[in-house]
């Protein structure tokens, strides 16, 4: 119930005292008495953490690639409050170093596509510092859109073209 607590070490020192005495019940004599003080420290360490999940990006079905095809997916990231993070998307199964030139494949044929941080194909999203997406954790799940774009290109044979991207959150 305290998920919005920023990372850190939290301590509370409690001081208490006890007054005690022992008596002999048959004679009513006070045998021993005293006061004792004790200190107890409670401590918890909240560590930084992040979790990431992704949904598939499915482009619409087309008959040709004579016009740009757009699609959208989402990543969900949940990081401890005030934890800075970056998210990188790798080059897929083709190991593309250009985030706008990944390849979806079906056998020997392929379709070129890119992944972006903003709608409209600006800000390519890759796996280097120059094209990571950054944010700050709020302790709540943050939904982050992933925009995909298939540019105009020669249309390959009909098939289902696929790629696998690995999203990495660093914090």
Look over the chain and give the mean of its residue pLDDT values, rounded to a whole number: 91
Looking at residue 48, the DSSP 8-state letter turns out to be P
Kindly state the tokens that stand for 75.
Answer: 């990543």
pTM of this prediction?
Answer: 0.79
**Over the stretch 43-97, which tens digit does the pLDDT of each residue have?**
888 899 999 999 999 999 999 999 999 999 999 999 999 999 999 999 999 999 9
Kindly state the tokens that stand for 170.
Answer: 């660093």
Cα dihedral 122, 125, 131, 137 sign = positive
Does 30 have pLDDT greater than 60? no
């Amino acid at each position: 119930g305290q998920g919005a607590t920023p990372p850190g070490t939290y301590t509370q020192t409690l001081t208490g005292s006890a007054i005690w005495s022992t008596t002999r019940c048959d004679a009513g004599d006070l045998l021993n008495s005293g006061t004792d003080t004790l200190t107890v420290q409670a401590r918890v360490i909240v560590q930084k953490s992040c979790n990431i999940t992704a949904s598939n990006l499915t482009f619409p079905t087309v008959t040709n690639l004579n016009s740009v095809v757009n699609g959208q997916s989402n990543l969900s990231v949940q990081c401890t409050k005030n934890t800075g993070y970056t998210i990188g998307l790798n080059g897929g199964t083709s190991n593309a170093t250009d985030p706008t030139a990944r390849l979806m494949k079906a056998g020997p044929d392929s379709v070129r596509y890119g992944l972006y941080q903003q709608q409209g194909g600006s800000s390519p999203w890759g796996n280097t510092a120059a094209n990571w997406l950054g944010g700050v954790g709020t302790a709540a799940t943050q939904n982050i859109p992933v925009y995909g774009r298939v540019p105009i290109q020669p249309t390959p044979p009909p098939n289902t073209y696929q790629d696998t991207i690995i999203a990495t959150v660093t914090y």
